[in-house]
Chains A and B, each alone.
Chain A
Amino acid sequence: MAEITFRVKRQDPTDKKNPEARWEDYKVPFEGNLTVLEGLFYIQEQYDGSLSFRYCCRASICGSCAMYINGAYRLACQTNIKHLDIIHDAEPVVTVQPMPHVPLVKDLVCDMDDFFAKYEYIEPWLIRNSQDPEKEILQSPKDRKQIDMPIDCILCGCCYSSCPSVWGEENYLGPAALLKAYRFEVDSRDEARKERLPRWDNERGVYRCHTIRNCQEACPKELSPTEGIQWLKKAAVRRRLFGRMK
């Protein structure tokens, strides 16, 4: 198989002449380990320099290149075409479109302003009230293990884009921000639980989650934001009932 077809969704909402979305096909030479991101580079270099997409690290660490590829949320850099189902087709087509349900800037670039505003709202940094120790803040291996899952989040926005609760309520914080709230809730070094609590313990926060679990299906890092949100719900109820601040 020498060539592979890239079907890319193109749209420039600011273009007065042609603001509508359209699909465009590009032939890209295929060999061995071609990733979707490399295919997009090829299109940009050989066919159309105006094709827009975000990328940065090319190693699935920065979360910039999250896209909707062949009907699934994927990181373009992480998606090896030889691993896609379509590779067995007679004429393989890779369908690339921007993440649905997120405002569009151009082509494959989504407007993540709301996503990051909500992320910032949760105050995603370590807050200490007590005097810092002279050296590092010690943490037992057991306590460290608690944050193993949530710290792997790369903020790509796949969970946010896939969540029906986000589609229906634009003020809902979304899975990524709540996962971060969970990350600091279970971190033994953090001391701002009381301050952070009112930010997620309401109908715009954890209670908007209906455990649909699309976030878990969508996450390219295979994390489970639902698990974190359910943990937060339990913690909130425990506090309401017993007034206990752990």
Chain B
Amino acid sequence: MSSKPRETANVGAGLWKATGMWAWLFFRISGVLLAVYLLAHIIVISTGHFDWLDRLMKAFDNPLMVILDLALVVAVLYHALNGVRVILMDFGIGIHRHKVMFWTAVAVIVICFAVFAYVAFTFIATGAGVNW
């Protein structure tokens, strides 16, 4: 195929109303973030400096790090649930219900996030875990 210059101005302005486009974009972004996170995670674990690791774990008590942890929860949940949605569609399940599936995934994430956020902010406020 030829590679001619393409009309790209105002890229897909109307398409941003489409649920599938956002689902795909967030899927890609969360995938890249998780790949970077996992790489960093594996590198740190594989150094074998456990005193160093202990100090690092202490650093995670910092409220900013707790909030970043929450962001990680959202990225993992979204990537996992949207992955299930895409696999189901690949099997031909819910082809006409992809928006419902997307919003179901979002609802599950919101509920899980609420639980995690409750734990996290209790920790930030009191410095201890939640007594369930």
**Which residues of A approach B to under 8 Å, CB–CB?**
9, 13, 21, 68, 70-73, 97-104, 110-111, 113-114, 117-118, 162, 164, 170-171, 210-214, 216-218, 224, 226-227, 230-231, 233-234
Contacts and interface: CB of A to CB of B under 8 A. Distances in A.
Given A101-B6, A212-B20, A213-B21, 6 more contacts: A71-B13, A100-B9, A104-B5, A164-B21, A211-B86, A214-B12
Interface residues of B, number: 30
Contacts of A171: 1
A216 B9 CA distance: 22
Given A100-B11, A214-B18, A217-B15, A170 B3 contact: yes
A113 B3 CA distance: 11
B12 to A, nearest CB: 6
A9 B7 CA distance: 11
B49 to A, nearest CB: 40
Closest 5 pairs between A and B when the two form their complex, measured CB to CB: A213-B20, A71-B14, A103-B4, A72-B14, A212-B24
A7 to B, nearest CB: 12
B90 A164 contact: no
A234 B11 contact: no
Q: Is the interface of A mostly helix, strand, loop or mixed?
A: mixed
Contact of B8 (A73, A101, A217): A101
Contacts of A212: 20-21, 23-24
Nearest to A103: B4
Interface string B1-43: 1111111111111110111110110000000000000000000
B21 A214 contact: yes
B50 interface: no
28 contacts: A21-B9, A70-B14, A71-B14, A99-B7, A100-B7, A100-B10, A100-B11, A101-B6, A101-B7, A101-B8, A101-B11, A102-B6, A103-B2, A103-B5, A103-B6, A111-B4, A114-B2, A164-B12, A164-B24, A210-B86, A211-B24, A211-B90, A212-B20, A212-B24, A214-B21, A217-B17, A230-B90, A234-B92
Contacts of B132: none
B21 A211 contact: no
Interface string B90-104: 111001101000000
Contacts of B89: 211, 226, 230
A100 B12 contact: yes
A158 to B, nearest CB: 11
A151 to B, nearest CB: 19
B99 to A, nearest CB: 9
A214 B25 CA distance: 12
B97 to A, nearest CB: 12
Contacts of A233: 90
A227 B86 CA distance: 13
A65 to B, nearest CB: 16
Contacts of A102: 6-7
Contacts of A227: 95-96
Interface in B56-78: none
B10 A97 contact: yes
Contacts of A71: 13-14
